[in-house]
Chains A and B, each alone.
Chain A
Amino acid sequence: MSEDSKQAEAVEEKPYKPTSPSSKLNFDGFWEYDDAPQSADHVEYKDQYDLFIDGEFVAPEKGRYFDSLNPATEEKLTSFAEATQQDIDKAVQAARKAFNKSWSTLEAKERGKYIFRIARLIQERAREFAILESMDGGKPIRESRDVDVPLAAAHFFYYAGWADKLDYAFPGKKAEPLGVAGQIIPWNFPLLMLAWKIAPALATGNTVVLKPAETTSLTALKFAELCKDAGLPDGVVNIVTGAGQTGSAIVNHDDIDKIAFTGSTEVGKIIKKSLAGTDKRYTLELGGKGPNIIFEDAPLDQAVEGVINAIFFNQGHVCCAGSRLFVQEGVADTVIQKLRDRMETLIVGDPLDKNTDVGAINSEQQYNKINEYLEIGVNEGAEMYQSSCQIPETGYFCRPTLFTNVGQSNRIVQEEIFGPVLTIQTFRTAEEGIKKANNTPYGLAGGVWTDKGSKIFKTGSEIRNGVVWSNTFNKFDPTSPFGGYKESGEGREGGLQGLYPYVKLQ
């Protein structure tokens, strides 16, 4: 720098061609990508699915079925059985029997081998699972193919190895399985959440009764087929479909030892309350309103990409979405400009198109909820910006949206929207940024962007979140524990820590 400083005098600027400070990039027109649909020809699914209990597909006692739509077309995809109390009783009995007779008596290493088998079978049928996941749930094939399904397989692979190594997981204690686990999963990552639930439960020697979300049960039933293919003993995994009532029958079942739930904070609290006074163990992975803090010394282009991943990944249907952006004032304009330009390149549309970045909103209900929030935001006086992309005429689609001119007290800042909607606030000092980030009942995950290592550690330690993504966002790995502080949940899933909710320590 010494020579540089000698020449520190101003260098004369060259005259340029047309200059205007508000230069706009043009992302329209020339060279549009053609459709690149993922072929779904070889993928088969039935018109109607029964319940998977004790190793068999069985009709529901009451004989009721409900339709599942493809949210991108609003057409019926298939229908699922509605499990009622008697079905849950059967499933729990089957799981209890399997726990007592086969699963808990099996040697740990053999248990592990079954789980390895499951992992491998998912890998073999990865494309099929990815396509079905996108058809049933609306998520882009790029994500189901590159994220959901590979991670689901990896989860089984990771926990399979734990089955015969539990003695090393809990220093000074011996881990015993709990028994029958009742598991209820959401619609945003159907197969992946199934993996998060079933893999650690089986590895620790428990058996399960799992209820997928009513709008996205298809891959869970495909998984049931896969359990049969893997030769898993009957009753170790039972899949029951249905809506809230089915879930409540699981939560309140006397012969279930543990409840694992992923979903909204509202329902999580109802479940926690239902379990009050019982000895049932539980883990809750609930909602969030994740902060994403960009300091002025951050790698801005990567931060912008991180914001895109944080809020538009899976249509924003992510409990750990970075839905509240905090930008230090010195770089706020730059970041917003970059974000808008980046949003222009997002492709919204057919989930099965390989180029789609943002797929369909999972259901009409969710679609309406998001639109309500957009209205609330505008009515609260926030400034709304939406990308100008084309969206299909049928199906539930929402343009990537950001709101500026918002404050902590706005509802769109406080409440979880669970859609592709970002709010942007500015801050002046680190202290202010952290304070605002923590100013929420939620505490699931958050991002910190700065080039300064010591600032990462300081900020990271002060934000009250179970996951801190520094200079990255929305990263998941089977070895990495995940779960919330405060009203975002109790307990951890993933990693060594993810074994703990499924064992009793002696």
Chain B
Amino acid sequence: MSDRIEVLKTYKTYVGGNFPRTESGRYYKVYDGDDNILANACQCSRKDLRDAVVAARNAQKGWNNRSAYNRGQILYRIAEMLETRKAQFVEELETIGYKTKKAKAEVEASIDRLIYYAGWSDKYQQVFGTINPVSSSHFNFSMPEPMGVVNVWAPEERPLLGLVSVMAPVIVGGNTCVILASEKYPLSAISFAEVLNSSDVPGGVVNILTGFKNELLEHMTTHKDVNAFFYTDPDIEQGKRKQIDENATLNLKRVRRKPVEDWLSEEAQSPYYITDFQETKTTWHPVGL
């Protein structure tokens, strides 16, 4: 063992392409598998959420205006970056009690999931868009378009794969998002933000906060400049689920719940995850000289 003092990482948040601390100055302790303190994580406040939504909103139009090809390339780039830092993420998962094999499987699945959605970037519109043979002299087509800004609760389990699985289908379709990381295991999410930051993902497309779901639920689901709310929690209490739905009525926020049990399984990825965060826009135009 070396005498060198290790330089510890400060885990901050990821908002608008920067790594700010929570404005509240609050933190909570994150533990490893054996109840030893691993790090302090930011306990984000509603104001952090507010700032993150602003960043996401500002980035949305530009992100959507990127070509599908370009968005695909950027998702692929994230995968590449993650691949090069595989060891770091495996190690990080090990600190929270993952066996090496399981940790490796999760990181690899995360990389593969990114590539899966990268490949969809320029295809889902082909598969889910339609040309509609209306009976008047009009050309009519329907295309999926991003909803806009999506607030996301990352799954509690599978801190990396879960995060990637909820993020990728949202952003590949031109949405931007604010993700609240797994409360219990937030560290992989912040490390993943470093991957995002080095992957040509424009600032604000993905914003990652850490903190308490209960505390942020109200503002994440009522915020009127947010178009959709996405969560997965299979075991959510009925009362909370109801609260989410009720809050969403305020601006008719679309609520999507995917109670996935196994993030490694096939049910955890499909183009329908992309279309869940798309609106269909139908355009008519006369056909004539």
Chain A residues packing against B (C-beta within 8 Å): 154, 171-173, 265, 268-269, 272-273, 275-277, 284, 286, 441, 456, 460-461, 465-472, 475, 477, 479-483, 485-487, 489-490, 492, 495-497, 505
Contact = CB atoms under 8 A, between A and B. Distances in A.
Contacts of B252: 265, 268-269, 272, 284, 286, 486-487, 489-490
Contacts of A490: 252, 254
B136 A477 contact: yes
Contacts of B251: 441, 486-487
A376 B66 CA distance: 44
Contact of B280 (A276, A470, A481): A481
Contacts, number: 111
B47 to A, nearest CB: 24
B28 interface: no
Given A468-B281, A477-B135, 10 more contacts: A272-B248, A277-B245, A466-B279, A467-B283, A467-B284, A468-B283, A470-B283, A472-B138, A485-B147, A487-B252
B138 A275 contact: no
A229 to B, nearest CB: 26
Contacts of A172: 270-271
Name the prevailing secondary structure of the B interface residues.
mixed
A468 B145 CA distance: 13
B10 interface: no
15 contacts: A269-B250, A276-B244, A276-B248, A277-B245, A441-B251, A460-B281, A461-B145, A461-B281, A467-B282, A475-B134, A477-B134, A481-B142, A485-B147, A492-B280, A497-B142
A122 to B, nearest CB: 16
A477 B138 CA distance: 11
B269 to A, nearest CB: 11
Interface in B228-248: 238-239, 241-246, 248
B105 interface: no
B64 to A, nearest CB: 9
Nearest to A172: B270
Given A467-B282, A468-B281, A470-B285, A477 B238 contact: no
Contacts of A480: 132, 134, 140, 142, 282, 284
Contacts of B272: 173, 505
Nearest to A151: B135
B286 interface: yes
Given A479-B133, A480-B142, A466 B127 contact: no
B233 to A, nearest CB: 13
Contact of B285 (A472, A477, A486, A505): A472
A302 to B, nearest CB: 9
B282 A468 contact: yes
Interface in B58-91: none
Given A472-B138, A487-B252, A497-B142, A482 B245 contact: no
A475 B142 contact: no
A493 B5 CA distance: 64
Nearest to B251: A487
Contacts of B270: 172
Contact of B130 (A265, A456, A496): A496
Interface string B122-162: 00000100101111101010100101000000000000000
A284 B242 CA distance: 18
B249 interface: yes
B245 A276 contact: yes
B249 A479 contact: no
